[in-house]
Amino acid sequence: MKVVLLTGACVLCVGLLGSCGRQAVSLPDRLDGGAVSRMAERELEAENPRMAAGTLSCPGLNFRRGASVRCLRTVELTEGRVVRVPGTVTVTSVVGGGRLHVAMDDRAEEFGLSGDRVAAGVRDAFARRLHLRPTRVTCPYLRGAIGVRVTCRVDGGRRRTVEVEVTGVDAADYRTSYAVRLSHAS
């Protein structure tokens, strides 16, 4: 799904300069990544209200016609599924405050599971296998690619590390299955 939008002159003018009608203020030579990200994400969501809420992360952008940067939009779907889709933000005009063009790619660059979702799975594995509930489980994001491994920290009276390994993926639905392997106590 290609998503394309243009931001109007006053969006940049208001967002960057604070006012459009006052004395002439020179436009910046460069937009910082935070400003590019916020403006592009706001416009994406306004133009596509049914689009899943997400966060766009962009590097700084030279504010000159034709300049572009690659950005990455991260969305968390149901069941802790995390999807990252790249896109391009291009300056199409610097006249009247400027105009940006945003085009998101058709395919996800990466997907996986949030650390919170993986931690819930580790807690469930402990309950099933050891008949106990750890007081605290911390896991990092788990990238959805077979063979990828992460280590979780578990505290339930004794500290343990638990290895989680991706055992299957369904790229069409961004689903990741994994196995929890208990390791040594520390």
- Domain segments of the chain as ranges: 3-108, 113-185
Pairing of strands 99-104, 68-76: unpaired
What is the pLDDT confidence band of residue 171, given thresholds at 50, 70 and 90? Answer: very high
User: Which pLDDT does position 21 carry in this prediction?
Assistant: 47
E strand or H helix at 170: strand 159-170
Neighbouring CB atoms inside 10 A of 177's CB total 13
* Phi/psi at 41 (5° precision): -65, -45
Measuring CA to CA, how many Å separate 35 from each of 40, 64, 115, 176? 8, 15, 28, 33
Least confident of 26-30, 57-61, 144-148, 165-169: 26-30
| In the predicted structure, residue 24 carries a pLDDT above the cut 80 | no
What per-residue string of b and e applies to 107-138 under the rule 16 or more CB within 10 Å gives b? ebebbbbbbebbbbbbbebbeeeeeeebeebe
* Predicted model pTM: 0.75
Closest among 105, 107, 98 to 6, alpha carbons compared: 98
| In the predicted structure, residue 38 carries a pLDDT above the cut 70 | yes
**Cα dihedral across residues 115, 142, 139, 183: positive or negative:** positive
What is the pLDDT confidence band of residue 111, given thresholds at 50, 70 and 90? Answer: very high
